[in-house]
Amino acid sequence: MPHPAESATPKHCISCGQPLNPQSCFCVRCGARVGTAAASTQFAAPPPPPAVGAAHSPGGVTPPPPAARPVVQLPAKATPPAATPQSAPPAPLTGFQITLQAAGPYRARVLMILQQSLGLNAANANAYIASAPVLLAIGLNEDAAMRLRAALVGAGAFVSIQGPPPPPPPAEEKARPPKPEPVRKMAATMRTLREIPERRGLRTVTGLAIGRTFSYLAYARAEGRRLVAPPDFIRFDARILLPTALKPAGGGSGETVGLAALAQWPRYPEDVRIGFLTEMGKDDGQSVITLRSYLKAMAFRLAEVLGPDSLDAHSGSETNISIDPEWADDMARLLATTAEDAGFPVARVVPDPLAALSFNLQKGLLKAVHGVEHIMVVDWGGQGLSISFIERCDDKEPVVFDTTDFPMGGMWLDMIIENWLRQKLPEELPDEDRRALTLFAHDFKEEASRSFADGRTEHVQYCVTPAGTPPTRLVITRSEMESLLKDAKEQLQKILVEAVVRIGFKPEHLDQILLVGGGARWYFAREAVRTALGRVPLMSPQPEESIARGLAVSGMMLGKG
């Protein structure tokens, strides 16, 4: 039986045909590794090079095969025939390439490296050395190229290595078209009414946002102009929002505000005051009295939570209050005076869009401006939709130069849902039950929107109207909701486009779009803005809180005080 070594080792060298000793590891004639001259090579074995002086392809170098694998090439001395017009252009080189410049003083060592690393026989390896400088390999990855270079240099050869061609430079960003000068109809800015004296230590800054549907009272702790902690909210009945409703004392009952007053509206509609902010300055002063009572309850709650120093201007505390951008100076001062009489140390009145801008600056969603920037603010509240435009410069305070209100707030959607609900309930409802259904429609709309925003396809809720009857199980699918609100969504998109055109702009001229207000929570609101204007608006997870939080930091973000 033959010896195992004999059966595993060939009898002749596969490179030069020299008879081999069964115990040999290398051929005594050409130096090839026995049985591994081609199989153990780290790089792809090249085809046998032609004899020196034979005709070659254009350029004196054999073109690489189309596969992206390392190949070995040998230049030639003869001039090749010209390429025919039908010849395909050579493929661009990729990866690293190694060039043997000269074998150096240790030719035998270099000969062995070429045979071992590239799988060449002695004749071909000698041909490459004789043709130096010669391109040895192309298409190598970085690791393989470095290993081959190190082996050749270690043997005494002179080698050059070339990396892949640099990637093409990125295409230059297309320059934005120059902006036209916007059409301006106002110049509303933040107004400072009182300079709060500088003092050491912490102080309380309050943001008072009085809405026609809900109001918010935010606060922040600051030291000088430095914000110590992000704004938070004073809570009423464990909720950050306070319904803008008040029921004066009378008939043996005490005064109630917020949710408690709103709950009594279906039964006592003539006694509960709602939306009194819109009547301020238009009646005989009754709305001012109602507003003062409402704000006193908020001031009492603020002092109860944060202490009496939170309302003390001498301790450095201050209040910033929001106003409609279109309000005249006398209306702004009347609101500020009413808040002062209720106990708030009012320092500034801030247009709603600028308060939203302050919030986004404090959150880091907007960066420092260089030059001029134009921002669109879409404030979708309960009573209406307000669209404003801000011009922001690096050396001036921001200014609101256009604003328009549209009567399509959250209450408009409430009425659409209420009509749908009436079809599910008895046709004839007493007046009290109809008013109760109005409140339920708002709650049903908000809960359904949250369900659809979470990815659910239907929303289920129980209604206890009419009073005294078993609860009615109400189910609405997402497709039904979208069908009900289809016209509202289309109207919203139309208004957005018209608002941009009104100031002489196109959507691409806007630098940012801010989406705020409770209506921004609607699952389709952000997509509607993107579809109409081709821009994704900035919106916080709690958009209805943006203005109140921004008020608490507006002095630090926008002003000098």
- pLDDT at position 106 is 84
- pLDDT at position 300 is 96
Q: Where are the beta strands (DSSP E) in 211-274?
A: 214-223, 226-233, 241-243, 245-247, 256-257, 273-274
- pLDDT at position 517 is 92
- List domains and CATH numbers for the chain: 41-78+93-162 (3.30.1390.10), 185-365+547-561 (3.30.420.40), 367-539 (3.30.420.40)
> In whole angstroms, how far apart are CA 205 and each of 193, 208, 234, 322, 355?
15, 10, 12, 14, 14
Long-range Cβ pairs for the range 479-488 (8 Å, 24+): 481/448, 481/452, 482/524, 484/416, 484/417, 484/420, 485/413, 485/416, 485/524, 488/408, 488/412, 488/413, 488/416
- pLDDT at position 188 is 94
> In whole angstroms, how far apart are CA 314 and each of 119, 217, 296, 311?
90, 21, 20, 9
pTM of the predicted model, to two decimals? 0.68
Instruction: Tell me the two tokens of residue 105.
Output: 């003083």
Q: Which residues of the chain have pLDDT under 70?
A: 1-18, 20-94, 165-168, 170-177, 559-561
Of 127, 129, 27, 118, nearest in space to 69 by CA:
118
Of 216, 253, 251, nearest in space to 236 by CA:
216
pLDDT in tens, 45-64: 444 444 444 333 333 344 44
Interatomic CA distance for residues 270 and 266, integer angstroms: 10
Q: Given CA atoms 154, 157, 160, 161 in this order, what sign does their dihedral have?
A: negative
Strand partners, 372: 393
